[in-house]
Amino acid sequence: MSDSPPILAQAVPEESRPAVRYRAVSRAAIAGVVFGAVSVAAFFSGYLLLLPLIGVGTSWFALRRIQEQPEELTGRGIAWAGLGLSAGIGMLCSAWLLYWYIREVPPGYVRVDYEDLQPGPGEVLPQRAFELEGRKIFFKGFMLAPGRRQTNLKEFDIAPAQQGCQFCPAQPKRTEIVHVMLTGELRTDYSIHLMRVGGVLKVDPYAPLPYSIEADYVR
């Protein structure tokens, strides 16, 4: 056993200790995770696919800033989490919306949009409209107020925008209104929601409303 006196640890002066540098968590990294989380809303509307795109961009920006300023910023793991979350949800939402876009058209119908029925310069009606006449089409629109009777409707008009929309023209053009005539025992009620109609397209360039559909499908 040694009789040497114990070696006492000497206190290190505070001024000689290495300074602990504070690094802030990147706000962009946190924002990327937030956008990734709220991106689930895109499952319900294609317009909200902008959310995961913003999340990917914000997270990528955060990674670049952290790489450029490693002594001032931290949060690389958070940024990678936001990037993966936004990209993953964005791809899932896109696939889901594409699936429903294809599936919503009943078999035997041709999808037609309002753009297909709008005339170009010098045209009364577009050639595409005459090509579609007599064919079974699938069309979507918002019902215009039918008047006093709002239930058990046999006929009604649809337009590309909902009535009362503050960002839309006050009155749609005649080529933007489609008259719907339900066939057989089919009936419907007035609704402010987007309607899906399927039936045979009729075209009359001299009528007040040149387009009408003899519909055997409505949702």
In three-state secondary structure terms, 123 is coil
Q: From 200, 202, 182, select the one nearest 125 (Cα to Cα).
A: 202
Residue 214 to residue 194: CA distance in whole angstroms: 18
**Strand runs labelled E in 16-95:** 24-25, 73-74
- List the end-to-end C-alpha distance of the chain, in Å, as a whole number: 95
Looking at the chain, the number of H-run helices and the number of E-run strands are 4, 8
pLDDT per residue, tens digit, the chain (219 aa), is 555 555 555 555 555 555 556 789 999 999 999 999 999 999 888 889 999 999 999 999 999 999 999 989 999 999 999 999 999 999 999 999 999 888 899 999 999 999 999 999 999 999 999 999 999 999 999 999 888 889 999 999 999 987 666 555 667 889 999 999 999 999 999 999 999 999 999 999 999 999 999 999 999
pTM of the predicted model as reported, rounded to 2 decimal places? 0.70
* Structure tokens belonging to residue 50: 């902008």
